[in-house]
Structure 1
Amino acid sequence: MFLKKTQAEAHMFDEDLPKKKQGSEFPRLLDNMSITELEEYIAEMKAEIMRVEGNIQKKKASHEAASSVFK
């Protein structure tokens, strides 16, 4: 038996979810950003690229380890 949540109950659980950091989404509208904001945005994107590259390396290592087991 499934119970339908009321709007108040659903909202109560939404409050527990992590909130997105405003302005941390890619891509952003650049026209209204100052030079400093643009430079900070570049730094954020570079950090994100490094994070993704690290994740790729971990996945490749796991994949290679799994592949070697099945040879």
Structure 2
Amino acid sequence: MDDEMFPVRRAAAHEIGQKLDDFSVEELGERIALLRREIERLEAARDAKQAAKSAAGSVFKF
């Protein structure tokens, strides 16, 4: 059979609120690590935007 006939299905990284009963302990640990990295990424983006906002606010003070 040709591999193109059976595409590899990748699971979504994580869906908030999804059922967790079918995940193994290892899979749950992987999900936790993934979500922690995503939280760090979100916090860094928030902090960068806050710094830019603060810098712009200090330039336009009257």
Which band: TM-score by shorter chain? 0.7 to 0.9
Determine helix, strand or coil for the equivalent of 2:23: coil
Q: CA RMSD in A?
A: 1.3
Shift of 1:66: 0.6
Task: Note the 1:10-21 alignment, pairs <5 A.
Answer: none
* Structure 2 unaligned spans of 5+: 1-9
- TM-score of the superposition, structure 2-length normalised? 0.74
**Whole-angstrom distance in 1 between the partners of 2:11 and 2:22:** 16
Q: How many residues are paired up?
A: 51
Corresponding residue for 1:70? 60
Q: Does 1:49 align with 2:35?
A: no
Percent identity between matched residues is 39
Moved over 4 A (4+): none
